[in-house]
Amino acid sequence: MKFVRGFALVLAAVALAAACSVAQDAATKPSREFTDVVYAKVGDRALHVDIAVPEDAPAKLHPAVVWVHGGGWKKGTHKMNLARWLTDYGYVVASVEYRLSGEAIFPAQITDCKAAIRFLRAKSKEYGIDPDRIGVWGGSAGGHLAALLGTTGGMKELEGDYGSIGRSSRVQAVCVFYGPADLTVVPEVAVKKKKPGPVAELLGGKPTEKPGLARLASPIRHITRDDAPFLLVHGDKDALVPIAQSEKFYAALKEAGVDATFIRVKNGGHGFNASGIEPTWDEIMKSVRKFFDKHLKTP
Strands (E), 125-219: 129-139, 173-177
pTM for this prediction: 0.91
CA-CA distance, 7 to 169, in Å (whole number)? Answer: 30
Q: Would you list the domain boundaries of the chain?
A: 7-297
Question: Which alpha helices (DSSP H) does 138-255 contain, by range?
Answer: 141-151, 198-203, 211-216, 243-255
The reported pLDDT for the residue numbered 278 is: 94
The reported pLDDT for the residue numbered 26 is: 65
Coil, strand or helix at 73: coil
**If we measure between CA atoms, which residue out of 49, 33, 36, 43 comes closest to residue 119?**
49
Spell out the CATH class of 7-297.
alpha beta
Residue 241 phi/psi, 5-degree rounding, is -115, 110
Whether the CB-CB separation of 119 and 39 falls below 8 Å is answered with yes
**If we measure between CA atoms, which residue out of 207, 115, 223 comes closest to residue 159?**
115
Per-residue pLDDT of the chain in tens (299 residues, 90 and over written 9): 333 333 333 443 444 444 444 434 567 777 899 999 999 999 999 999 999 999 999 999 999 999 999 999 999 999 999 999 999 999 999 999 999 999 999 999 999 999 999 999 999 999 999 999 999 999 999 999 999 999 999 899 999 999 999 999 999 999 999 999 999 986 654 444 557 799 999 999 999 999 999 999 999 999 999 999 999 999 999 999 999 999 999 999 999 999 999 999 999 999 887 789 999 999 999 999 999 999 999 77
The reported pLDDT for the residue numbered 186 is: 65
CA-CA distance, 40 to 46, in Å (whole number)? Answer: 6
**Residue 58, preceding bond cis, omega within 30 degrees?**
yes
Burial of residue 146 (CB within 10 Å: 0-12, 13-18, 19+) is buried
**If we measure between CA atoms, which residue out of 101, 84, 120 comes closest to residue 11?**
101
Residue 218 phi/psi, 5-degree rounding, is -100, 110
Residue 59 phi/psi, 5-degree rounding, is -60, -35
